[in-house]
Amino acid sequence: MSLKRGVAPGARLIGFALLLCLRAAPSPAQSEAVHCLHVQGGVYLLSGGGANITVQVGDEAVVVVNAGRAEMSDAVLAAIRSLSPRPIEYIIDTSSDADAVGGNAALSKAGFANSGQRGEPTTAAIVAQLNVLKSMDAAKATAQAIPTDTYERDWALFNDEAILLTHAPAAHSDGDSYVFFRRSDVISTGDLFNPSSYPVIEEDQGGSLDGIIDALNAIIHIMVPRLNEEGGTYIIPGHGRVCDHTDIVNYRDALTIIRARVRYYVAKGMTLEQVLAAKPTFDYDGIYGADRGSSSTTRFIETVYREVSRAAKDHGVPGDWRQNHG
């Protein structure tokens, strides 16, 4: 996949902003740095802040999707300022994960949301699905970090282009959002999609593989690929490289096939140990597999097995459902 570079009006200005962004990042001597990439339109990717950060630059303000880790806020702010001197008006949280919301307080303090009301706070608005607010409140997050504006199903705002927020229920968690920059034709997915690993499903926060697949299908539905699938709508995932239509379709297909295999094994009465031994992810492990960590292959299979098993029981199979499907 290659990003469109083009010679559209303003291309020289974009290139100059990219150069400034690279210069604003911390030096290679530091352990971590924030790097900028112009995706297309008014949208940029900042990587190195803990999770991918999406920045949309408009005529009057800047919109940020996810704020990165708290300790990277200075570097993230320097990178944003290299792209535009305009205030950060909105910070959109795609989930309550620490690498998405950790920098909320610092970035909000550096911004300003002009609502036109008297006595309004001189900070950027923090926008998220309602369950993110509930999760952060339960975790006793600071008042400066929690969302100031919430929504349930979908929401929209405007910053030199339409920006559409959509709730993905019961996916990575119960509060996931994906963000569509309509004119730039870029979608920021958060942890609904990761091109190099199986999804992390937070069961204790209402997450599910079914919800992730439903969200991927909804995202694919609004994407329009260019000829031969190279270009068109671009995806900024929660982590990793910029992706196109083929990448996310392949990911959706892999998860759907793996779910079907586990369903078959569960219906045959196989235990978790037997399913792990059957390696239902084997032909995809070279792309998405990992030996350890929150997105490890084993953890993913275990999570899918539990979800499929619960669904089988909920369908009212009498007696010992495993034996009855043996």
pTM for this prediction: 0.87
How far is Cα 151 from Cα 166, in angstroms, rounded to an integer?
A: 9
Share of the chain above pLDDT 70, in %: 84
Question: Residue ranges of the alpha helices (H) in the chain?
Answer: 11-24, 73-83, 98-101, 104-109, 130-138, 209-222, 245-267, 272-278, 285-288, 297-314, 321-324
What is the CA 136 to chain-centroid distance, rounded? Answer: 17
For residue 68 the two structure tokens come to 């990165």
Q: What's the Rg (C-alpha) of the chain?
A: 21
Instruction: Work out the angle at residue 122's Cα, subtended by the Cα atoms of residues 51 and 175, and round it to the nearest 5 degrees.
Output: 40
pLDDT in tens, 85-115: 999 999 999 999 999 999 999 999 999 877 6
Question: 62-65 and 88-92: which strand pairing?
Answer: parallel
Tokens 């007696």 sit on residue: 319
Domains of the chain in start order, with CATH, are 11-324 (3.60.15.10)
71 touches 98 (CB < 8 A): no
Collapsed DSSP state (helix, strand, coil) of residue 62? strand
Share of the chain above pLDDT 90, in %: 77
Confidence of residue 116 (pLDDT cuts 50, 70, 90): low
Q: Which of 94-103, 114-123, 221-230, 263-272 has the lowest mean pLDDT?
A: 114-123
Q: How many CB atoms lie within 10 A of CB 13?
A: 9
112 touches 78 (CB < 8 A): no
100 touches 93 (CB < 8 A): yes
